[in-house]
Structure 1
């Protein structure tokens, strides 16, 4: 019957600390046994204790070759009789770390327990001085005890007891294999989770982090205690997740004991205390030394080495074999030609080999791309260099390279000249294309250029010395090829010049079309234009008055350009529009804007000091020349009452630097055309057409119905009187007589108003010499009067219209007198029995306000305040009526104050 040999793990959970060196064995009971024995299997010990200690040291030395142990690991080793042993099974040995550490210097991960030996090695310090790192115990009952394992003994040789050929040892157990197994536990091949699935103080250990259950899809770190206990019994489904293990050659060679690419761990059901989890599956094929049962003589850690690597143990650096570079030999090439060499090398370690190269001649450059070496001589160089090629396996070891030095020779030959000028270009049709032909010659020969071929139906071409000149003909546009050649006297090189010929750049507008360097005068509005010619890929820039105004005034939309007017300051003068296409062809176009000349009145009269012309658009400080082109002698231009022929544009950007000139009229006997212009040496002229307007005196008489003269107010309904500075309100004498001067160009509209008489509006022919009007007396008169005031309207430029409205809708216009720009007075008298006064309406532009007449049998005084608000203001209106007692027999006075707030979009009354 085969023996069941069980291996167990001993854990001692003590407090953390470290030391320095290799694996040191501290011999305990049984390792100093003086019983005599015979050397066996390479173990030269002559006492039982010495042989046991020799095997221990042999196992320690073996593991030192598989781990990079930089800090001494101490092992308390002893033989004990307390371990179980029967005729069929035994616990061969137990081992584990004496202490576990957490959050030490250089720990692989925080908040994780690690065996003290690993912690000491990574931190470089002894966490617990004078205390062994590993405790290992072995079953002393196995030696020469027929009741333990039926006579199988420990074998202390270094070889396989089954292959010694000695029947005495064929069933013995290798102490060498067993010690390696137990030391691996002490170094970290074990889980610190207890037999109830609990973590130590709720903290996972570095080994258990890599345990994973394929059934639940959870790692042990993420499980509850009960889940871990269940997973520890999930045979074949508890696996290791560390990459070092699963990607190792040994793992890839397993034919059993692997699940979906992950090595299976020992998870029997029921749970086996001391064996479960901390070993590989017993199904592992080939066998592993870290299976729970002794299987065969094994003296390497196998996959346990990669387990230790996964949890943080550093690995030793393997020895390296140098690569062998395949011989290259001497090489050569002609001048100006490179040499390409395919490199190769072999490497016994199957490492990737990298190549490098060096030239001892700066005129020859080495270039490595992978395994391809390119030797590149400088242009026109002839000579040789020693080239060193090195193969390197990248290990960093001294024997990691192989190299060869060979001679590379470049032989000379006559060089062709090489064109260095551009081989392409573009030009506008009407422009010549000039190209300076250039070339280099390595032999420094004298070079000459010549024309070879061109299409004479498309272009004329010639070469003068080294300048190629091409001119398009026959309205040809498109691509044309011109072939030229260069010779050093021995050999000749050719080049084809690819020339693209475009239509000339042009500017197209409704005001006219422009070619390069031509000008066009446009109106003082936004100028709209399109572009033609070139490659249709345009960039436009505009310069005015020395400033680039492209971003502020030029815009582009839907294939059209728009040159706006400046919003302030100067606008008259030349605008240079520079167009450049995508090939660099360019053209300048001149756009001219004239000065603007305007007037406050177009009909000029005598005796008016208020007639002015305005000249706008000149740069501030410009001296502008004034010209009376028509009407010289009839009018004069004046500044400060002095005749002038020039004016200086002021610095008044908000009014476009407006210059103001007064006009005086010398002769108004008839209507004369007047033309006045302004310009400067650099500014296009602007002009204005005016006329003189003679007045005619009309003898006007106003009487009552009985022919008695009546003192009457005459209102002339002609807004030009304001521009002339004349009073629209005239007053007859007490006899109703007035000599009234009126412009002769149109019928005058007059409103006659007299106290206690009905107002009368008449149309007067200004050609008449005299005229008589009669007014009808009011019966039972009442008067409605008052003032109209404003804060933001201009009553001088436009007086409000005030009307008294009858209940049947009939209107009587009140007489209005302008006091200033924000105050007028009004008055209207009616027959209170014949005219049923109902309301007063005040109109200013689009503002209309109504006020009720509360008592139309007595005189009324109504004062109105009217303002216009901006669009953003809230719409409000308020009205208050104040009644006061009359005084001095004037009857009841009604005072009405109105505040009118008007929005441009709607009105609320």
Structure 2
């Protein structure tokens, strides 16, 4: 006989149960612990030691019901402080106290059998004094502080996971005890960890081990082959037929290899666990896995494993099937549950359980004790088949009967909304709907409503309502639905809001109307609906709400686009919180501007500008008034249509030249522009006739300068300064719409200012000689301007703002000579002003200096963009703070050269340039 080394089982979550009549517990240590406890989970013990012994005995009792034990099996049981930490612990260890071979009735010669199995096969207690199994359990698990992080032994006979929150993490001692006793009964290999045979013999357990990779059983392997097989994970299997043909093996969804149950063969080898357990992959869990898995109450496949080793199983007595008491056909009414009391007889007195099923999902079955409840679905009627089954756990009896649900008439049920909203001016169309469980034909009727508030009509299921008498607010209408037998009424609540409107200074719009506005910001307010609006603005197919709409106090502002197109339709959609909505259309026309409103026949500089159309738009041009007076040209070609350029910065501006025929009188001209989708923009102009003035100056001894003081002349491209040589006679052409100021000056004469009436055609003038004539003269030079294209205007300004224009001579593109004569006694000169287009240079004079030569250099100023307020402020600061040039001459004839350049901007007045 061999004394076998005890196997250690590190259980993390697994357990098994079995019952036996002749397993005798011999308590060694730990069972006399008098620590007080309370009865728990069917264990009546009141001390820790008694509870341990009760649970150990319960495990033995379970195993006795599975094995046919002929010879008592003695188990030495003890509790001791085994290894335990917060992360792992040895729960217990157990094994046979010895093994033997070639005993009477030994199934296989020269094969080691554990002593308990050998005694039962030989039907003789060969070690009557010595125990067959020795088992030790970890006492550190009781009321511990750190063992497995506070996991304790649970000594109840039920599942700790369901015994209460304080036990949910504890381990069942019952499951662990069953596991360890099974090791002692034979679930353990005697082969050494190096693959060598113990005493040179195979054992009854290991003869059933088989390697799928090598197709060899362990009995036919060498030591090295067995060593390799011990760690051949998933390929070490059990070859015994009782295990592999069991219903438990057939139910496995994992832990099978080619129809054979896998054994635990991890790599590396685990002492005390490898080979002597089923694989931990077994699903469902088995009690003989190497880790504690869950609370289990049967030995599972360990029963068949022991049978493959030679253990005899307990034979079950013949069972008598229960007999179900006849039920017969049953009836109920629609929407009513039927309760049937079930009964059955069982000759063996076994407890029975009932189950039931329906062949139609419209009737559900449920059982509470012996009461069967049959529940029809709502509004269901008809017949179904019900099957009732009774079972005693082994055999069963059943009956199928007809269950009839008798119909009753169900009232129809309204399914349409009972609350609606509308606007005063809208007809509300509301569809009535209802359901009927019996699928009867339904009809709807109007019952009542307040005829002073609304009108109502009902056609089929269509209810049409219209508010009247300016009524807004809440009202209701009663309707009914009938299935021909039962009629049901319903109240529909109606809220009527004021119609939507958009109000501005220009007009008040109602829904789906339009307003054409000017090309400026558009302020408006909204009314109607429930006053809780969301607003959406679209323009040219794009949502521009964020870009253009501003919410003001009690109103809104639709802004102008900052660039690109702005002409077209802006659709303003408002929606209130009830979903009522309205659309308003705001139209912005094309913008037409001009550089001059009075058109003359002799100018080629007259233009109109069309802005706001989307780039690429075809714009039609119309001369609505004055078509005989004017024509429109681009590049000297007459046109009636243009395609707008892509120039977003200037609103896609198109420039059109206006050519005017001979004009004999002032007439109105109207030009408009539009397209298929763009609102019309227009501009009013006037043709302007000129009259001739024959001007004669008497007693003139020198040439004279005539300045025409009309700001329109430079725009038309007409000269504003003329020179009269002796004899002093000149024909002037002047506009007919207003008196024209003329300034006449000649060297040595007083300057004369006249306003020429439009009816005057001849004028004779005599200039008054200066008594004390004095002259200021010099040259005006430039590098960036063109004096030929636009003559500079040179003026002498007095301290009372009187003006004497200078005479210009020697005019070239970059220089011109000037001179101006005055009476020093009557004219106090303050400054000399040089103007060329928008460019101005002023030279201040000190002490009424005269007979001086003052040369002035003028340039186009460095243009500072004034697109932002900051730029404007900076430029204004320059204009306001720079001191003018002060010129002082020591004596007559002195020459001062004044240079205006970017390199020398000292004390220059910079006048802001507006374009």
Pair 1:637–1:122, CA change in 2 (3 A): closer
Matches within 5 A, 1:445-844: 445-702=440-697, 707-754=699-746, 759-766=751-758, 767-774=760-767, 776=769, 781-787=774-780, 813=804, 815=806, 827-830=818-821, 840=832
Match of 1:296 in 2: none
3-state DSSP class of the match of 2:153?
coil
3-state DSSP class of the match of 1:723?
helix
2:153 is aligned, of 309, 313, 316, to 316
Pair 1:333–1:474, CA change in 2 (3 A): farther
1:437 aligns with 2:432: yes
Counterpart Cα distance in 2 of 1:315 and 1:905 = 97
3-state DSSP class of the match of 2:905?
strand
TM-score by length of 2: 0.53
Deviation of 1:741 after TM superposition, in Å, equals 0.9
Matches within 5 A, 1:73-88: none
**Which shows bigger deviation, 612-621 or 895-904?**
895-904
2:853 is aligned, of 847, 851, 859, to 859
Deviation of 1:729 after TM superposition, in Å, equals 2.2
3-state DSSP class of the match of 2:145?
helix
3-state DSSP class of the match of 1:380?
coil
Counterpart Cα distance in 2 of 1:523 and 1:809 = 44
Pair 1:453–1:423, CA change in 2 (3 A): same
* Per-residue deviation, residues 220-263 of structure 1 (Å, max 9, x unmatched): xxxxxxxxxxxxxxxxxxxxxxxxxxxxxxxxxxxxxxxxxxxx
* Per-residue deviation, residues 595-628 of structure 1 (Å, max 9, x unmatched): 3333221222222222223333334444444443
Counterpart Cα distance in 2 of 1:873 and 1:667 = 48
- Does the 8 A contact of 1:864 with 1:899 survive in 2? no
Match of 1:899 in 2: 905
Counterpart Cα distance in 2 of 1:554 and 1:375 = 65
Pair 1:740–1:798, CA change in 2 (3 A): closer
Counterpart Cα distance in 2 of 1:815 and 1:509 = 55
3-state DSSP class of the match of 2:628?
coil
Pair 1:735–1:798, CA change in 2 (3 A): closer
Pair 1:484–1:579, CA change in 2 (3 A): same
- Does the 8 A contact of 2:591 with 2:611 survive in 1? yes
Counterpart Cα distance in 2 of 1:582 and 1:775 = 85
Counterpart Cα distance in 2 of 1:676 and 1:818 = 42
Deviation of 1:695 after TM superposition, in Å, equals 1.2
Deviation of 1:797 after TM superposition, in Å, equals 13
- Does the 8 A contact of 1:873 with 1:903 survive in 2? no
- Does the 8 A contact of 1:868 with 1:901 survive in 2? no
Pair 1:474–1:878, CA change in 2 (3 A): closer
Deviation of 1:719 after TM superposition, in Å, equals 1.0
3-state DSSP class of the match of 1:308?
coil
- Does the 8 A contact of 2:882 with 2:909 survive in 1? no
Counterpart Cα distance in 1 of 2:151 and 2:638 = 108
Counterpart Cα distance in 2 of 1:67 and 1:773 = 146
Match of 2:379 in 1: 380
3-state DSSP class of the match of 1:551?
helix
Pair 1:566–1:375, CA change in 2 (3 A): farther
Deviation of 1:527 after TM superposition, in Å, equals 2.1
Counterpart Cα distance in 1 of 2:809 and 2:569 = 46
Pair 1:832–1:376, CA change in 2 (3 A): farther
Pair 1:333–1:760, CA change in 2 (3 A): farther
Deviation of 1:811 after TM superposition, in Å, equals 6.2
Counterpart Cα distance in 2 of 1:797 and 1:376 = 106
Counterpart Cα distance in 2 of 1:676 and 1:367 = 90
- Does the 8 A contact of 1:575 with 1:591 survive in 2? yes
Match of 1:245 in 2: none
Unpaired segments of 5 or more residues in structure 1? 1-18, 23-43, 46-52, 69-115, 127-182, 189-304, 325-329, 341-356, 389-406
Deviation of 1:316 after TM superposition, in Å, equals 0.7
3-state DSSP class of the match of 1:721?
helix
Pair 1:365–1:736, CA change in 2 (3 A): farther
Match of 1:85 in 2: none
Counterpart Cα distance in 1 of 2:862 and 2:809 = 17
- Does the 8 A contact of 2:707 with 2:805 survive in 1? no
Pair 1:589–1:493, CA change in 2 (3 A): same
Match of 1:87 in 2: none
- Does the 8 A contact of 1:702 with 1:709 survive in 2? no
Deviation of 1:64 after TM superposition, in Å, equals 8.3
Deviation of 1:859 after TM superposition, in Å, equals 1.7
- Does the 8 A contact of 1:805 with 1:841 survive in 2? yes
Pair 1:780–1:592, CA change in 2 (3 A): closer
How many pairs are equivalent?
Answer: 595
* Per-residue deviation, residues 709-749 of structure 1 (Å, max 9, x unmatched): 42233221111112212121222235333211111222222
Counterpart Cα distance in 2 of 1:890 and 1:661 = 52
Deviation of 1:498 after TM superposition, in Å, equals 1.7
Counterpart Cα distance in 2 of 1:501 and 1:464 = 22
- Does the 8 A contact of 2:51 with 2:155 survive in 1? no
Counterpart Cα distance in 1 of 2:714 and 2:490 = 81
- Does the 8 A contact of 1:815 with 1:826 survive in 2? no
Pair 1:438–1:359, CA change in 2 (3 A): farther
Counterpart Cα distance in 2 of 1:798 and 1:461 = 80
* Per-residue deviation, residues 675-728 of structure 1 (Å, max 9, x unmatched): 33333444433333222222122222346xxx2442233221111112212121
Unpaired segments of 5 or more residues in structure 2? 1-6, 11-24, 36-46, 54-79, 91-136, 164-326, 340-354, 389-401, 865-870
- Does the 8 A contact of 1:804 with 1:828 survive in 2? no
Pair 1:337–1:642, CA change in 2 (3 A): farther
Match of 2:411 in 1: 416
3-state DSSP class of the match of 1:899?
coil
- Does the 8 A contact of 1:879 with 1:899 survive in 2? no
Matches within 5 A, 1:220-299: none
Counterpart Cα distance in 2 of 1:880 and 1:749 = 29
- Does the 8 A contact of 2:843 with 2:886 survive in 1? no
Deviation of 1:501 after TM superposition, in Å, equals 2.0
Counterpart Cα distance in 2 of 1:848 and 1:871 = 20
* Per-residue deviation, residues 835-869 of structure 1 (Å, max 9, x unmatched): 77676567999999665669866423233555564
Match of 1:154 in 2: none
* Per-residue deviation, residues 540-585 of structure 1 (Å, max 9, x unmatched): 2233333333222222221212222233333333333222222222
3-state DSSP class of the match of 1:862?
strand
- Does the 8 A contact of 1:871 with 1:903 survive in 2? no
Pair 1:839–1:454, CA change in 2 (3 A): closer
Alpha carbon RMSD of aligned pairs, Å? 5.7
